[in-house]
Amino acid sequence: MTPPQIIADGWWVSLLWCEQDGSVIPFEDLAPAAGPPPGSPLMRLGPGLAGTLSGLVLEENGRQQLRIRLGQPPADENLPWAAPLTILAGFRFEPARALAMRENELALTVLTAFRDALLRLSY
C-alpha cells in the first residue's frame, strides 16, 4: 500500500496491491477454482471491501463514498482477471470515526479490509 494522500473534498486515496515473492500477482491467481467469473474482478472486490469497511466509510445520498479502479489495465481487455492485482482506492470516511483513529490505524484498517476482500475473490 502506498502512503495515502488526501485530495479534493476529503477523499483518502491509495494504491493497493498483492504480491508474492516480490512480484505483483494477477487477479486470476485468486479467482475461484472453477475459473474466473465473467466481468471485472472489481465487481467482486468492491462489495467485499465496502462490506468490511461499512460504518467507517461515509454514506451520502444512500451511497457509500468508496471508489476503486484497476491500478493497471489487463493486456487483453477481454481477460480482465489477467490484470495485475493493483487497485487505486478512494474513500471518504465518516468524520467522527476517522477523527477517533490515528492515521496509521486508518491505513491498517483499509489494508486489513483489502486483504479480507481478496480472500473472498475465490468464493
pLDDT in tens, 30-70: 999 999 999 999 999 999 999 999 999 999 999 999 999 99
CB 69 within 8 A of CB 40: no
Band (8; pLDDT cuts 50, 70, 90): confident
pLDDT at 121: 94
pLDDT in tens, 72-108: 999 999 999 999 999 999 999 999 999 999 999 999 9
Cell numbers linked to 98: 476517522
Band (111; pLDDT cuts 50, 70, 90): very high
Residue 100, exposed/middle/buried by CB under 10 A (0-12, 13-18, 19+)? Answer: exposed
Band (123; pLDDT cuts 50, 70, 90): confident
Return d(Cα 105, Cα 107) in angstroms, integer.
5
Question: How many Cα atoms occupy the beta-carbon half-sphere of 58 within 13 Å?
Answer: 17
Residue among 6, 13, 10, 7 nearest 95 (CA): 10
Domain boundaries, the chain: 5-122
Cell numbers linked to 24: 505483483
- The arithmetic mean of pLDDT across residues 14-42, rounded, is 96
Q: How many residues does the chain have?
A: 123
Cell numbers linked to 73: 489495465
